[in-house]
């Protein structure tokens, strides 16, 4: 066999695809060439979906895709297609669901699917070892058996495909009824569900593996803001504290890993994703504003420090992720032994660090290493010693071989971090964080926004792939956060353009809701319309809430009507199973009690006390804007008379008379004089 020195993936922008450019596998990226070759040759398609920070993707690559013998079988029997799930979430969504239908097992990565030339899956799974183990067949043997099955059972496969297509068509939310009267019932039922699954010992919901579920925590914080429910606040803050003090949070370098493999948040799956950290940064900033708990401030400051240090490109965009592995081992970059730590510190420093980070306990990582957790509170007066020790340990860790970084820029994930940075900048009064957000926003505007449409991904000077629902919805929501931190009428104009594209190119005019792909997108075997929150929030939920808010900033009722059609479409599901619909439930709340808009206008130098009041308050269903004298091109709802500094409080479309002092604004909003304590 002739070894392929560089396959087609070498020309792709995805670092994940580029990782496989040296494989002896004759890989194709997803596209017309691969699909045409499958039809021409009659070979079925082997579709492999993963991402660059995925540990088991690396394992399968090393075992099978780098093996000449396995690659020879793959090349002989299949047209082999490699997909980065981060660049093509449309493809990943479809075949993850199909895999679950075919195997009755949960999905994940790597995803391994076998398709007909018509892109219809007939067999699949996730990770397969090279040789049989874990109760799984060896991959080489599996390839032969799958091809034999395909050649011998075409009629059965066609019948199965028809059933699968029908099942896929029924995975959507269905059709909205003619009228829907919204109530708080799904919000209340969701709260009961969260209480029933809450872990009172370690925080979080359910059992290991434990994911952060920021949508659920946000619902609890919003419930506290709405009615003062202290139990909701306690569940939210306890979970946030446990995550920030556990190994899910990088105690030396900041930033959160994807999830914890145990109930105690001690040992994570070590990859760090931009989307988790953007969403969690906004959530921790909100929690700090609501409670002033220093644990939440530290989580924000150290997460931002990590992002600025490691995740923002010189061009301005934020990178996508850090790998779980280094030197071929998951977590190796992050773990220690007591002897390693002791050798770097003074006796006094080690005496503080060992009990604080759990080095005086048995190893917590694979029975021989220690991953730092906040094992017990810091001794009083030991702050300086801990700070000195952390600086030494961090400097030593920086000399290790680093995990790989996926340096592509994704519009949707950048939008989540822009929103987190802008919210945290307001909460802590730190304009340099807003500067970071604006750098990313400017990068997207100049590089990813072309001819009135967004592109999804960028790397090495090339932006491409039509954007998805999440790109538009998340960016619209991010712009609304940036407008509250630093009003610019050009940002509001861009927000309205994004809203218009959502309505024109993504909305299902007949049934309500938004498709994940635009009307002119490449035709695939299914067109999802996702409503559940997953690792990232639901595009439908974020779009609905952002469009409701955009209505009250622009006066354009089309946005609210589209949001209400979306809520009506998902209403039956939210009534039956409200768990997992956090983003849509946030939109529901703001449709029941209209979004409150607080407009402060006048000379910008006089905004200080007004901004301190509004930015320092937890007001999750409010939008606060500071409009300086001379702000141009304002839509009617924002064009208020200017006389000194005034605040206008509008509930929906009804505005109160202007308020001429922060004290009167505080009283009108019902804010306490002193921030509450958790």
Distances (CA, A) of 476 to 215, 297, 607: 18, 26, 25
The span from the CA of 237 to the CA of 402, in Å, is 32
Tell the burial category of 50 from Cβ atoms under 10 Å away from its Cβ (0-12, 13-18, 19+). Answer: buried
Is the pLDDT score of 1 beyond 60? no
- Quick one: pLDDT band at residue 632, thresholds 50, 70, 90? confident
Q: Can you read off the two tokens belonging to residue 468?
A: 């998805």
- Quick one: pLDDT band at residue 91, thresholds 50, 70, 90? very high
- Quick one: pLDDT band at residue 5, thresholds 50, 70, 90? low
- Quick one: pLDDT band at residue 459, thresholds 50, 70, 90? very high
Read off the pLDDT of each residue in 417-437 and give the average, rounded to a whole number: 98
The span from the CA of 457 to the CA of 13, in Å, is 8
What percentage of the chain has pLDDT greater than the value 70?
A: 98
The span from the CA of 149 to the CA of 217, in Å, is 47
pLDDT score recorded for residue 478? 98
pLDDT score recorded for residue 676? 44
Is the pLDDT score of 630 beyond 90? no
- Quick one: pLDDT band at residue 677, thresholds 50, 70, 90? very low
For the ranges 172-176, 288-292, 581-585, 615-619, which has the lowest average pLDDT?
A: 172-176
pLDDT score recorded for residue 416? 98
Residues of the chain with CATH 3.40.30.10: 8-169
Is the pLDDT score of 2 beyond 50? no
- Residues 569-583 pLDDT 10s: 999 999 999 989 999
Residue carrying structure tokens 């919210």? 423
Q: Can you read off the two tokens belonging to residue 379?
A: 């001794």
Is the pLDDT score of 658 beyond 70? yes
Q: Can you read off the two tokens belonging to residue 487?
A: 């009003």
pLDDT score recorded for residue 653? 87
Helices 539-554 and 469-485 cross at an angle (nearest 10°) of: 40
Read off the pLDDT of each residue in 156-166 and give the average, rounded to a whole number: 95
Tell the burial category of 316 from Cβ atoms under 10 Å away from its Cβ (0-12, 13-18, 19+). Answer: buried
- Residues 281-320 pLDDT 10s: 999 999 999 999 999 999 999 999 999 999 999 999 999 9
Q: What mean pLDDT is reported for the chain?
A: 95
pLDDT score recorded for residue 595? 94
Is the pLDDT score of 178 beyond 70? no
pLDDT score recorded for residue 180? 78
Residues of the chain with CATH 1.50.10.10: 185-207+300-321+406-592
Q: How far, rounded to the nearest angstrom, does the alpha carbon of residue 480 sit from its chain's CA centroid?
A: 18
Read off the pLDDT of each residue in 470-474 and give the average, rounded to a whole number: 98
pTM of the model: 0.96
Q: Name the helix (H) or strand (E) containing 74.
A: helix 68-77
- Residues 508-542 pLDDT 10s: 999 999 999 999 999 999 999 999 999 999 999 99
pLDDT score recorded for residue 3? 47
What are the helix (H) ranges across 429-578?
431-443, 469-485, 489-501, 539-554, 557-576
- Quick one: pLDDT band at residue 98, thresholds 50, 70, 90? very high
pLDDT score recorded for residue 542? 98
Beta-bridge mates of residue 370: 336
pLDDT score recorded for residue 663? 97
Pick the CATH number of 8-169 from 3.40.50.10420, 3.90.1170.20, 3.50.50.60, 3.40.30.10: 3.40.30.10
- Quick one: pLDDT band at residue 194, thresholds 50, 70, 90? very high
The CATH number given to 185-207+300-321+406-592 is 1.50.10.10
Are 142 and 48 a contacting pair, CB within 8 Å?
Answer: no
Q: Which residues contact 535 (CB under 8 A, 6 or more apart)?
A: 211, 258, 273, 275, 276
Residue ranges of E strands in 190-280: 259-260, 268-269, 272-273
- Written in H, E and C, the secondary structure of 424-464 is HHHHHCCHHHHHHHHHHHHHHHHHHEECCEEEEEEECCEEE
Are 289 and 616 a contacting pair, CB within 8 Å?
Answer: yes
Are 540 and 514 a contacting pair, CB within 8 Å?
Answer: yes
- Quick one: pLDDT band at residue 179, thresholds 50, 70, 90? low
Read off the pLDDT of each residue in 278-283 and give the average, rounded to a whole number: 98
């Amino acid at each position: 066999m002739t070894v392929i020195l560089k396959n087609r993936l070498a020309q792709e922008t995805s670092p994940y695809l580029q990782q496989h450019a040296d494989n002896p596998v004759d890989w194709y990226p997803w596209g017309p060439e691969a699909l045409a070759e499958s039809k021409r040759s009659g070979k079925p398609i082997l579709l492999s979906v993963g991402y660059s920070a995925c540990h088991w993707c690396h394992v399968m690559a090393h075992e099978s895709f780098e093996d000449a013998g396995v690659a020879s079988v793959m090349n002989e029997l299949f047209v082999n297609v490699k997909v980065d799930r981060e660049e093509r979430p449309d493809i990943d969504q479809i075949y993850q669901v199909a895999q679950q239908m075919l195997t009755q097992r949960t999905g994940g990565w790597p995803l391994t699917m076998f398709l007909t030339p018509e892109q219809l899956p007939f067999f699949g799974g996730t990770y397969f070892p090279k040789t049989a183990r874990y109760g799984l067949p060896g991959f080489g043997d599996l390839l032969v058996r799958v091809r034999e099955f395909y050649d011998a059972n075409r009629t059965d496969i066609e019948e199965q495909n028809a059933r699968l297509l029908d099942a896929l068509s029924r995975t959507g939310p269905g059709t909205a009824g003619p009228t829907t009267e919204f109530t708080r019932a799904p919000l209340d039922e969701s709260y009961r569900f969260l209480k029933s699954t809450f872990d009172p010992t370690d925080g979080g919901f359910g059992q290991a593996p434990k994911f952060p579920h920021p949508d659920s925590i946000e619902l609890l914080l919003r419930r506290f803001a709405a009615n003062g429910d202290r139990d909701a606040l306690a569940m939210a803050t306890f979970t946030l504290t446990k995550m920030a003090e556990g190994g899910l949070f990088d105690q030396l370098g900041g930033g959160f890993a994807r999830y914890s493999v145990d109930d105690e948040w001690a040992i994570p799956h070590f990859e760090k994703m931009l989307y988790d950290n953007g969403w969690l940064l906004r959530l921790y900033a909100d929690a700090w504003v609501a409670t002033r708990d220093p644990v939440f401030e530290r989580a924000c400051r150290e997460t931002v420090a990590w992002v600025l240090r490691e995740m923002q490109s010189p061009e301005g965009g934020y990178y996508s992720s850090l790998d779980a592995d280094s030197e071929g081992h998951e977590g190796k970059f992050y773990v220690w032994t007591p002897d390693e730590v002791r050798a770097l510190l003074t006796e006094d420093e080690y005496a503080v660090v060992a009990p604080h980070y759990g080095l005086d306990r048995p190893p917590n990582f694979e029975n021989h290493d220690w991953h730092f957790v906040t094992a017990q509170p810091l001794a009083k007066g030991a702050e300086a010693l801990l700070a000195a020790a952390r600086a030494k340990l961090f400097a030593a860790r920086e000399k290790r071989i680093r995990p790989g970084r996926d340096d592509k820029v994704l519009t949707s994930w950048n939008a989540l971090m822009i929103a987190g940075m802008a919210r945290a900048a307001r909460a802590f009064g730190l304009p340099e964080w807003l500067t970071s957000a604006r750098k990313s926003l400017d990068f997207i505007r100049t590089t990813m926004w072309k001819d009135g449409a967004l592109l999804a991904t960028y790397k090495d000077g090339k932006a491409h792939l039509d954007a998805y629902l999440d790109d538009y919805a998340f960016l619209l929501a991010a712009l609304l956060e940036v407008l509250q931190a630093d009003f610019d009428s050009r940002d509001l104009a861009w927000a309205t353009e994004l809203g218009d594209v959502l309505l024109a190119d993504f909305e299902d005019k007949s049934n309500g809701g938004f498709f994940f792909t635009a009307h002119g997108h490449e035709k695939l075997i299914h067109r999802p319309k996702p409503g559940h929150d997953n690792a990232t929030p639901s595009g439908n939920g974020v779009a609905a809430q952002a469009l409701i808010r955009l209505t009250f900033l622009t006066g354009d009722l089309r946005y609210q009507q589209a949001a209400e059609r979306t809520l009506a479409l998902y209403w039956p599901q939210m009534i039956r199973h409200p768990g997992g619909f956090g983003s849509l439930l946030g939109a529901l709340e703001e449709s029941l009690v209209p979004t409150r808009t607080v407009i402060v206008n006048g000379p910008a130098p006089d905004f200080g006390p007004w901004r301190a009041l509004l930015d320092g308050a937890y007001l999750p269903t409010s939008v606060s804007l500071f409009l300086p004298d001379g702000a141009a091109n304002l839509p009617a709802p924002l064009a208020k008379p200017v006389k000194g500094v005034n605040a206008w409080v509008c509930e929906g479309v009804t505005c109160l008379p202007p308020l001429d002092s922060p004290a009167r604004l505080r009283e009108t909003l019902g804010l306490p004089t002193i921030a509450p304590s958790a």
